[in-house]
Amino acid sequence: MTVPVAATRSRDSVASVLEAQTGAPGDGWDEQLVGLGGHVLQSSAWARCQVRMGSSVFHCRDSEWMWLGVTRTVGPFRRLYLPYGPRAARAAALRPALDTAIACARRAGLDFVQFEPDGLPQLSPAEVGARRTRMRQPTFTWLLRIDADEAALRSGLSKGHRSSINAAERKGIAVTRADSPAVIDEFLTLIRQTHDRTSMPIHPDAYYRAIAAELVPTGEAALYTARHEGRAVAAALVFDLGETRYYAYAASAPEARQLSPAAPLVWRLILDARAAGKRWFDFWGVAPPDQPDHAWSGFTQFKRAFGGQLLERAGTWDLPVRPLKYRAWSLLQSLRR
């Protein structure tokens, strides 16, 4: 099924022949995405996960841009959300990409488009009439280049991380990779325990089960578990796309504070990714650098202690499709802050 859309470069321009399609993208999508340097949340793998979770998925592309969006509903408000998208090769490509997304949302009966443009730093959402809104995906992430020898990577570690990694075997901590989604139950137990200790927001169990069932058997995702005396004490769910491994979700047991399994676990993630030919390890979200008291400061310090560099993205933006409905949405959001 396809939903035809009119891509307009101005209000008076003629319609384009581009069409936004529904469902997961097919052949060639990921190759183009990797070529443009796009994020895994714009990949066909993520689209398949969303379809498995019951979300409506749309996607569209041209030679210089591409986007993948999912519908999200909060009460009477419905939006087309493009996580870390559109991906644009140049600043001028952002407008036609968003034109197709707006037209797609209009035909689907949605109220606004929410997007997170990814690409060149010159991308300017405000110039196309978008309004910055509350962050959905993290604006800041931490990147580590891993296509170096192990000694060079180890030299970038903090003293504390090196100590934890060196002591892991002596403490009886072993890290294993699972090629079956069956071990997701251990991960779910750990992530609930993490939530109970830290109040960290988590998704329903079905969300993680869908990711594991869809992506672990294909190798597009992997589950790693750190064990002590046979008991799972820490775990991580990672995604792989192109030259990048993404540290997507992590969890730990209460005794992790004494055993310190997190650094050895992540070190194994990095070394395995390097061995597989990856160039980058994306730690996902970190706190803004000018907010030392941010709620994410603890795990931000943990991630930065592996070495690496900060990446700032453009943030989350809205484009109204139904102005009156969007005005009501904006008022509701302002009252919740």
In the predicted model, is pLDDT for residue 336 greater than 80? no
Dump pLDDT digits (tens) for 149-197: 999 999 999 999 999 999 999 999 999 999 888 889 999 999 999 999 9
Contact by Cβ (8 Å): 221, 257: no
Contact by Cβ (8 Å): 309, 148: no
Count of alpha carbons within 13 Å of 248, Cβ hemisphere only? 23
Phi, psi (5° rounding) for residue 244?
-125, 140
In the predicted model, is pLDDT for residue 319 greater than 90? yes
Residue 43 carries which DSSP code? S
Per-residue pLDDT band for 51 (boundaries 50, 70, 90) equals very high
Compute the average pLDDT of residues 269-297.
Answer: 95
Dump pLDDT digits (tens) for 182-239: 889 999 999 999 999 999 899 999 999 999 999 999 999 999 999 999 999 999 999 9
In the predicted model, is pLDDT for residue 21 greater than 80? yes
Per-residue pLDDT band for 125 (boundaries 50, 70, 90) equals confident
Dump pLDDT digits (tens) for 245-256: 999 999 999 998
In the predicted model, is pLDDT for residue 279 greater than 90? yes
- Mean pLDDT score of the chain: 91
Dump pLDDT digits (tens) for 80-105: 999 999 999 988 899 999 999 999 99
Compute the average pLDDT of residues 117-133.
Answer: 82
Per-residue pLDDT band for 120 (boundaries 50, 70, 90) equals low
pLDDT for 10 equals 39
Residues 6+ apart with CB under 8 A from 304: 142, 286
In the predicted model, is pLDDT for residue 123 greater than 80? no
Contact by Cβ (8 Å): 253, 262: no
Say what the pTM is: 0.92
DSSP-assigned beta bridge partners for residue 227: 174, 232
Q: Is the dihedral of CA 138, 92, 126, 8 positive or negative?
A: negative
What burial letters (b/e) apply to 6-40, b meaning 16+ CB within 10 Å? bbbeeeeeeebebebbebbbeeebbebbeebebbb
Domains of the chain with bracketed CATH: 2-137+314-336 (3.40.630), 140-312 (3.40.630.30)
Per-residue pLDDT band for 337 (boundaries 50, 70, 90) equals low
In the predicted model, is pLDDT for residue 8 greater than 80? no
pLDDT for 187 equals 96
